[in-house]
Structure 1
Amino acid sequence: MPLADTSQGDGRPVVSDIAARLERLPMSRYQRKIFAVIASAWLVDQIDVALLTFLLGSIVVAFGLSPTEAGQLAAMTFAGQLVGNIVAGTASDRFGRKAVFQVTMVVWGLASLAAATAWSLPVLMACRFLIGVGVGGEAPVAQAMVSEIVPAPVRGRYIAILEGFWAVGYVLSGAISFFVLPYLGWRWAFVVVGLLSLVVLAVRRNMPESPRWLAESGRHAEAEAVMATMERAVERATGRPLPPVTPQIAAAVAEAVPARRQSAVATLFAPAYRMRTVMAFGLWFFALIGFFGLNSWIAVLLKERGFSIVGSVGFVTLITLGGIPGFATAALLLERIGRKPTTALFLVCAAAAAWLYGNAGGEPVLTVAGLAVTGLFVAGFVMQFFMFGMWSCLYAYTPELYPTRARATGAGFASAFGRIGAILGPMIVPVLVRDYGPATAFQVGAGGFLIAALLVLTLGVETRGKVLEAVSH
């Protein structure tokens, strides 16, 4: 039953009632089912984002691209993500999570199929831009949806696990490329991913809208209907009556819900959120300069060290396996020691690992099951462990910094600043490689991670285990 009058006033009773009822829900297979649908979409779109890392060497040969042209092609995905982050993030706060989430997948799925038919570099660049728009738009919406449905005690863990599907997607992207490239060519890799998007789109058609967003938007009757449906589903899933709302949760939520509304963009720069916004924007910018500056060119750099195209794809796929335990470790630490220390820890360790990778040699350092393991492989595996764990931290931390009315907008704008870094990274790396050698590019990437860590340590706030309405107040 509702805990407050939902028929009068400025809407605060409705918002606080819905938030308190959501927070008291035990985690059940119902919420996990919703999470699985969101995560499946996240998995497939990350396969598409990572695809160019593995296909770039073949595309360079097919179109006869110069290093500058290859960097421009890589940057187009990030340019599209920048647009998608801002447009879809703000649209989600205005029109709802569910509708925008669906549209983003249609955009990048169709663009992936179109990329398979590209007959020139400009056409392929346009397709990668649209892929970026769709994938970039999905990111802030997915973050907002998971953070608004999953209760506070496990919220960080589930968002970190969501982001961990990127590591899985990265590995699957490499596997698809490894098996498709030698037999069918790079175009069919885009076809496979485009077809996967259609399957996931059909799966997620029955997702519910966020009750928090409905209440915050004044759609009180719809919020109550969705909330009641969720409560019944959780009761069926657990086989027990729902626990009551504790006075502590009710008081924290009621006190945190503001009486005066601001626009989503204005909220980001209001005095209460201004320093958080500076931290979030800078964190994403420098972290993504480091990550994409290295990963967009890693296969090409391996080719320059003597690896074949297929061999470099296989090597990158294997070291990316390090990202899977990386995101799992981050998910654990985010709830154990907190968002702020975990984020800073993974950034600092990613910086150290990137520096080591850039200076590692190809000589054997140990033997596993009769196979020689090189220093280059060990350093690469450790680097991916911390870099993918870093991503889990970014996605768990960012949406918690802002209130419901600006959550997707804040996550979108922060991601957009990251995409600016992602655009600059692939353009800077070939210049550094040409003038100073490959190791210098990894040193610059390490510097980006260290600056991001410093911003978190000096300007970050801790959000672990707190109700969204309380921590974002």
Structure 2
Amino acid sequence: MSTTDSGAAAVSPALSEAAVAARIERLPRAPWQVRARMVIGVATFFDAFDALSVAYVLPVLAVAWGLQPTQIALAISIGFFGQLVGALAVGVVAERWGRIPVATLSVLVFSLGSLALAFSPNFVFFLVVRFIQGIGLGAEVPVAATYIAEITGAHKRGRFVLLYELVFPAGLLVAAVAGFWIVPNLGWQWMFILGALPALIALYLRRKMPESPRWLQRAGRDEEADRVLRHVEETTRRETGKELPEPAPVDASHVSRRASWRDLFAGIYLRRTLVVWVLWFSAYLTTYGLTAWLPTIYRTIYKLSLNDSLLYSLVTTGAGLLGAAIYAFTIDIVGRRVALAGGLLIGGILLLILTGLGAGSAPEVLLWSSLAYLWISAVSLTAYLYTPELYPTRVRAFGVGVASAWLRIASILGPFVVSAVISSSGNITIVFLIFGAVALAGGLIVALFGVETRNKILEEFSP
């Protein structure tokens, strides 16, 4: 056995957190990591697909069931209520049970919920199932983001994670394309039937994906952590054809063995927690407030046909995918704080320009809202990269789950803001004014108080 194997061969009775981190950090990019990203990413793809499906079926259901603006807002927001429950619960459960079992269960819940939605006989049934399905949706994304961060080394982690996160806007784009064709031609039910496909992925997740070695070590399951590390090290050697370098020392001497929810507000983490909460709220109040309502706005405010309403929304969703791709290839160059703050500030300014122009026509709304969405949706995805980097392994899933709960709160409020404005005044420019101001405020706070995490080893930066 070569000397380069010594880091993997020496098994101590108690595998330290520093040793686990060092062995992960020495791994070069290999196909097994891409496979892991793709498997987890497919689940996230359908998460996005389902999240937008409701926006494309609502113009049909609103007519079929005679829904009022407040009922439409409730139909959008009820899923986010479920996601809020899932996001708050996932941290505690994932810290106790592990990343892969929780990801598997959450995928099953939202897949089966999607299938049930296809057979909704009335509005009440739709609301109940949408809430239950939301619990699965709310749990899946934060635990997936946590898992990807924990199996990835510091070098170029931003590009690797954001390339994984690209599946979310891709899912939104596919949902937009599917909704544009499927809803008028096959019926709204098929959107939810397609959303049930991830149930198959859940079976693969449980059988094939290795658990996070970082979580296994923190859970006191050192032998399992070492076994997983040996497996990925050997797989990396085989797939890359290269021997691994000796693990470089990682300073984890200051890591605490005890975990508590209070860690989110202790020492250096208080500032990080408050900033990241503002980040999630401001980004997602705008993204979900706009995208969930845009098809209906085009249909009801600007009197476009159903096909044109869906086509306009498809363009905006495509702009979001472009923005995410740009961020994926530049995030490790410009850094997290500049990208996050800059995206919110630029997006907010673009929405305020739309407000000043009066939003007098559908093409005008399409142009400026798409440009704003290009930036703000990229920020929304980058939050999934940035947040796991801010917390230690012992509370990482919990920290991401609580932060993403602010996503759900914003997602609940966003549609109701639009509904309240439409119902009270019908002046759609007020909506763009509110969302633009929120984005600007969030960008300023991140710029002033955010911390940079680029190329930082998780155990050293988040003790």
Which of 33, 36, 43 is 1:34 aligned to?
36
| AA of the residue aligned to 1:285 | F
| AA of the residue aligned to 1:120 | N
SS in 1 for 2:156: helix
The equivalent residue for 1:197 is 198
Do the aligned residues in 2 keep the contact of 1:357 with 1:383 (CA within 8 Å)? no
Cα distance, 1:423 vs structure 2: 0.7
Deviation digits for residues 397-447 of structure 1 (CA, Å, limit 9, x no counterpart): 111000001111000000102211111111111111233411110111111
2 CA distance for matches of 1:121 and 1:53?
15
The equivalent residue for 1:369 is none
Q: Which 10-residue stretch deviates more, 233-242 or 322-331?
A: 322-331
Do the aligned residues in 1 keep the contact of 2:359 with 2:428 (CA within 8 Å)? no
The equivalent residue for 1:167 is 169
Do the aligned residues in 1 keep the contact of 2:386 with 2:453 (CA within 8 Å)? yes
Cα distance, 1:170 vs structure 2: 0.8
SS in 1 for 2:205: helix
SS in 2 for 1:255: coil
1 CA distance for matches of 2:193 and 2:198?
10
Deviation digits for residues 219-245 of structure 1 (CA, Å, limit 9, x no counterpart): 000000000000000001100101222
Do the aligned residues in 1 keep the contact of 2:104 with 2:203 (CA within 8 Å)? no
Deviation digits for residues 261-286 of structure 1 (CA, Å, limit 9, x no counterpart): 122x1211222311111111222122
| AA of the residue aligned to 1:52 | V
Deviation digits for residues 131-166 of structure 1 (CA, Å, limit 9, x no counterpart): 211111011111111101111112111222222211
Change (3 A) 1:26 1:107: same
Cα distance, 1:39 vs structure 2: 0.9
Q: Does 1:438 align with 2:428?
A: yes
Do the aligned residues in 2 keep the contact of 1:285 with 1:421 (CA within 8 Å)? yes
2 CA distance for matches of 1:139 and 1:94?
17
Cα distance, 1:377 vs structure 2: 3.4
The equivalent residue for 1:123 is 125
| AA of the residue aligned to 2:201 | V
Change (3 A) 1:139 1:349: same
The equivalent residue for 2:20 is 18
SS in 1 for 2:259: coil
2 CA distance for matches of 1:251 and 1:416?
32
When the two structures are superposed, what TM-score results if normalisation uses the length of structure 1?
0.92
Which of 403, 418, 441 is 1:414 aligned to?
403
Which of 333, 346, 352 is 1:349 aligned to?
346
Deviation digits for residues 370-399 of structure 1 (CA, Å, limit 9, x no counterpart): xxxx44433233122112211222111111
Q: Does 1:339 align with 2:375?
A: no
1 CA distance for matches of 2:395 and 2:450?
18
Change (3 A) 1:101 1:55: same
| AA of the residue aligned to 1:197 | P
Q: Which 10-residue stretch deviates more, 23-32 or 374-383?
A: 374-383
Q: Does 1:452 align with 2:442?
A: yes
The equivalent residue for 1:367 is none
Do the aligned residues in 1 keep the contact of 2:291 with 2:313 (CA within 8 Å)? no
Q: Does 1:290 align with 2:286?
A: yes
SS in 2 for 1:71: helix
2 CA distance for matches of 1:362 and 1:427?
22
Unaligned segments of structure 1, at least 5 residues: 364-373
Cα distance, 1:171 vs structure 2: 0.9
1 CA distance for matches of 2:114 and 2:180?
18
SS in 2 for 1:244: coil
2 CA distance for matches of 1:284 and 1:269?
17
| AA of the residue aligned to 1:215 | Q
| AA of the residue aligned to 2:273 | T
2 CA distance for matches of 1:157 and 1:32?
12
Cα distance, 1:3 vs structure 2: 7.2
The equivalent residue for 2:367 is 378
Cα distance, 1:360 vs structure 2: 4.3
Deviation digits for residues 240-260 of structure 1 (CA, Å, limit 9, x no counterpart): 1012223xxx143x335x144
2 CA distance for matches of 1:173 and 1:202?
23
1 CA distance for matches of 2:118 and 2:137?
17
The equivalent residue for 2:311 is 314
